[in-house]
Structure formats: C-alpha cells, structure tokens
C-alpha cells in the first residue's frame, strides 16, 4: 500500500545523511505521506493515544526508579519496609514526586482503558483478518507484556495488596506440577520468581528489574506492530480494501492533526484523574505495609485484570482455573482463523454485531464479578455462577459463535469504494 518513496532531500546535509542512514526518508514516508484511508473515525485515534501513554509511563517510570528502593528489608518504621518507605518518601520529600507517582499509577489504568478500546475496535471492524494477522498477533503479544509489566508494578509499593497479590499469582505456577509430574516445573518457576521459598525481598528485587526492563521490550514490539501496519496499510470502518488514490489522504496533516486533538482530550481526562481523583482506581489496603501474617479479606487485582481474575476464581480446581486463565488470553491470538466470514466489518454483519455487543457486556459483567467477594450473592444468585456463565460465553464467542456465524450469516452489501461511501456519487479526486 505504501508505494515508492516520495522523499526528496533538499540540502547537502540531508542528501549526505540519506545516502548513509535514510532515517529522514523513513520518517517522511511513514509519518508524512503515508496513504491512509480517508474514512477513519474517532476510534482509530487510540493508536496515537497508546503511543502517548507508553511514552508517559516510560518517562515517569525512569524518574521514579531514581528514588525507589527495591528492598523488602525492614524499614525505619516498625512493620514497614524500605520499598514502602521509599514510595512514601517519593510522595512527601521528592520535588513533584507525588505528581510523578500519581501520573505513573493512574497512567497504567489509562493505558489499559485505551488498549481495551483499541482491541474492541479491532474486533468490531475486523482488523485481525487477512492480510493483518501478524499485526493482530503482535498486538496480543504487546497486551501480554503489558499485563506482566502492570502486575509487577503493582507489587512494587510493597503494601498489603501488593504482597498478597504477588503471593496468590506466583503460587498459580505451582499448579503446573500436576502436568509435569516429578519434574515439578511449576514449583521451580515459583521458586525462581520468589528468589527463595516464599514471597520476600528477593521477589521484590526481581520484579523491579523486570518491571524496568519490560516497557522497553514493549516499545520494541510496538515498533514491529507499526511496521506490520504499514505493510498492508490501515483497515477502515467499512472493512474494504483501498481501490486507489481517491480512497486515501496523506497521514500528515490530516491524521496528525486529528490524532493530536484526541490525544489532547485524552490528556485532559488523564489530568483530571491525576489531580482530582488520584486514588479513584487504587486500593486503600496498599497504604498498609505488607504483612505476611495478616491476609486481607478480599485479594483483588487492579480493575483491568478483574475479568480474568473472575474466570480464574470461578473454577474450583486450581489447575483448570489456571488453564482457563491462560486459554482466555491465548485464544486472542487465534481470532484471525476462528472468524470464517469473508466480510471484515460488523457494520455489514447484523447478526454478528449482536453477539459482539453481548461479548462486550459479558466482559463488563466478568469485571464486576471479579471485584466481588467469592461468596457474593446478588438477587439471590451466587455471583460465582454468573462468573462461570460469563466465562463460558467468553470462550463460546470465539470458538463457536465466530466460526458458525461466519458460515450462516448473510451480510449486507458492501460499498464499491471508500471514496464513494464518503463522498457519494461525487467524483473523488486524490487528496494533495
């Protein structure tokens, strides 16, 4: 879709650099003149918003790492630790440390909010279908890396919820012993993560190292993700291929201006959360120093992992619960081959559209169930059974609904081209 380069060096320096390291040509062709479908809507701005979030998390994370003490050793205050005390010191003693910490902590929530919208948009418009399978799989890998990074970051403040979340999640690996038998691979993995025989100071050091490393790996995979996007080009809300220059506009200034506007709106919402409700998505138990002798009444992860936590907790057998949890994420990588429809966008698939919105509601319901205690009852109904039904529909949507509906559904007629859909019968000239 990209076509031949249109970059022309204008000065002697740029000609010299272009012949040795054509980075200016690369930037010009990928961010300036790249032909982009002219009908991309608001939901396509979340790629730029996610890039903004990643940059914010890396910058604030580096600043916080300069002042954080990744030690679980006993701190100055009885019952606290150096890690817990260093977080409080960042908040109280470091210039603008409170702001860096709140931006970083709330930035994780905003990052996941944006990535879930990005993923649901991809599902709705069929952005995973050929020839964009690799693009989708790289996105799933980025999501996995984000989950790992967020979990390890949640442990670092070394409060009650941090400690017990680390204990619960790392213990899940021990269930793999039922598969590996005498090798006890699961226990070995858990012991390696702990750096001992239980969660402790060595665990905190390991998690801090990995939490610092993974964002740079995410940035590298994001680079591959963008590269994979630029090979076939953007999908669009209609889900039809670009027929010619009349269907596209240059990325700059059309989409740079549009993305900048929506990034600005997102930043306003982000700033409101940071300055007016910084603890809105936090857990008050994490302001209590970690105590291995006192278990919180309800151990819950951050909101963005609640649907998967609900799946895990709804299964009474530990190993099966772990396999369901892993399968829920691994399933995402197979979506390009599970959807059998020849039509990409759900705009033209009336039956699939209904199942899609049921799936969105199902994910919200699972998140709600994950936030409740395991024995919660609503309207006389045990919520653990609601979580089980939600888990069943999650897998049914991908492994039954997608393949079957694609075969039996009669989609609506597709437009002849993007330009005709946008401009009607008016002759569309290529944008300059």
Q: pLDDT for 37-62, tens place per residue?
A: 999 999 999 999 999 999 999 999 99
Q: How confident is the model at residue 152 (pLDDT cuts 50, 70, 90)?
A: very high
The per-residue pLDDT for 431 is 53
CATH superfamily of 30-421: Cytochrome Bc1 Complex; Chain C (1.20.810.10)
Name the average pLDDT for the chain: 93
Tell me the mean pLDDT in the region 299-314. Answer: 95
Tell me the mean pLDDT in the region 335-346. Answer: 97
Q: How confident is the model at residue 63 (pLDDT cuts 50, 70, 90)?
A: very high
Q: Which two tokens stand for residue 144?
A: 């996995």
**CA distance linking residue 69 with residue 253, whole number of Å:** 45
The per-residue pLDDT for 203 is 94
Q: How confident is the model at residue 80 (pLDDT cuts 50, 70, 90)?
A: low
Q: How confident is the model at residue 358 (pLDDT cuts 50, 70, 90)?
A: very high
212, 57 contact by CB (below 8 A): no
pLDDT at 72 over 80: no
| φ, ψ of residue 289 in degrees (nearest 5) | -55, 145
pLDDT at 184 over 90: no
pLDDT at 323 over 80: yes
pLDDT at 2 over 80: no
The per-residue pLDDT for 6 is 86
Q: How confident is the model at residue 81 (pLDDT cuts 50, 70, 90)?
A: confident
Tell me the mean pLDDT in the region 19-36. Answer: 93
Q: Which two tokens stand for residue 23?
A: 């980075």
Tell me the mean pLDDT in the region 148-170. Answer: 95
Tell me the mean pLDDT in the region 94-123. Answer: 98
DSSP strand pairing (248-250 vs 35-37): antiparallel
**CA distance linking residue 371 with residue 301, whole number of Å:** 8
Judged by average pLDDT, the poorest of 28-32, 78-82, 377-381 is 78-82
């Amino acid at each position: 879709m990209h076509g031949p380069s249109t970059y022309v060096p204008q000065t002697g320096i740029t000609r010299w650099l272009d012949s040795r390291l054509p980075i200016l040509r690369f930037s010009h062709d990928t961010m300036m003149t790249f032909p982009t479908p002219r009908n991309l809507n608001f939901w396509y701005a979340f790629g730029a918003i996610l890039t903004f979030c990643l940059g914010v998390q890396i910058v604030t994370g580096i600043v916080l790492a300069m002042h954080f003490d990744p030690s679980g050793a006993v701190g100055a205050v009885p019952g606290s630790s150096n890690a817990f005390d260093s977080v409080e010191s960042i908040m109280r003693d470091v210039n603008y440390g409170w702001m860096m910490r709140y931006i970083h902590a709330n930035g994780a929530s905003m990052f996941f909010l944006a990535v879930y919208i990005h993923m649901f948009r991809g599902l709705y418009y069929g952005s995973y279908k050929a020839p964009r399978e690799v693009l989708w799989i790289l996105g799933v890998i980025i999501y996995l890396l984000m989950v790992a990074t967020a979990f390890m970051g949640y442990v670092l403040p070394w409060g009650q919820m941090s400690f017990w979340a680390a204990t619960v999640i790392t213990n899940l690996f021990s269930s793999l012993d039922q598969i590996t038998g005498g090798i006890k691979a699961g226990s070995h993995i858990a012991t390696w993560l702990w750096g001992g025989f239980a969660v402790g100071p060595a665990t905190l050091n390991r998690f801090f190292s990995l939490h610092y490393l993974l964002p740079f790996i995410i940035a590298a995979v994001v680079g591959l993700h963008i590269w994979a996007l630029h090979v076939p080009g953007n999908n669009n809300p209609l889900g039809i291929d670009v027929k010619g220059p009349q269907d596209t506009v240059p990325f700059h200034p059309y989409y740079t201006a549009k993305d900048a506007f929506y990034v600005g709106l997102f930043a306003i919402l982000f700033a409101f959360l940071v300055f007016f409700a910084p603890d809105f998505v936090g857990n008050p138990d994490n302001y209590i120093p970690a105590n291995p002798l006192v278990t919180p009444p309800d151990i819950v992860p951050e909101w963005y992992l609640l649907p998967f936590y609900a799946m895990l907790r709804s299964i009474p057998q530990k190993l099966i619960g772990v396999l369901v949890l892993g399968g829920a994420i691994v399933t995402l990588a197979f979506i390009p081959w599970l959807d059998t429809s020849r039509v990409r966008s759900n705009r033209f698939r009336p039956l699939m559209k209904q199942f899609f919105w049921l799936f969105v509601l199902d994910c919200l319901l699972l998140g709600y169930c994950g936030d409740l205690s395991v024995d919660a009852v609503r309207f006389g109904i045990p919520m653990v059974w609601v979580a089980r039904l939600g888990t069943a529909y999650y897998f049914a949507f991908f492994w039954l609904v997608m393949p079957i509906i694609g075969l039996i559904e009669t989609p609506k007629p597709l437009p002849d081209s993007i330009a005709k859909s946008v401009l009607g019968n008016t002759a569309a000239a290529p944008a300059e």
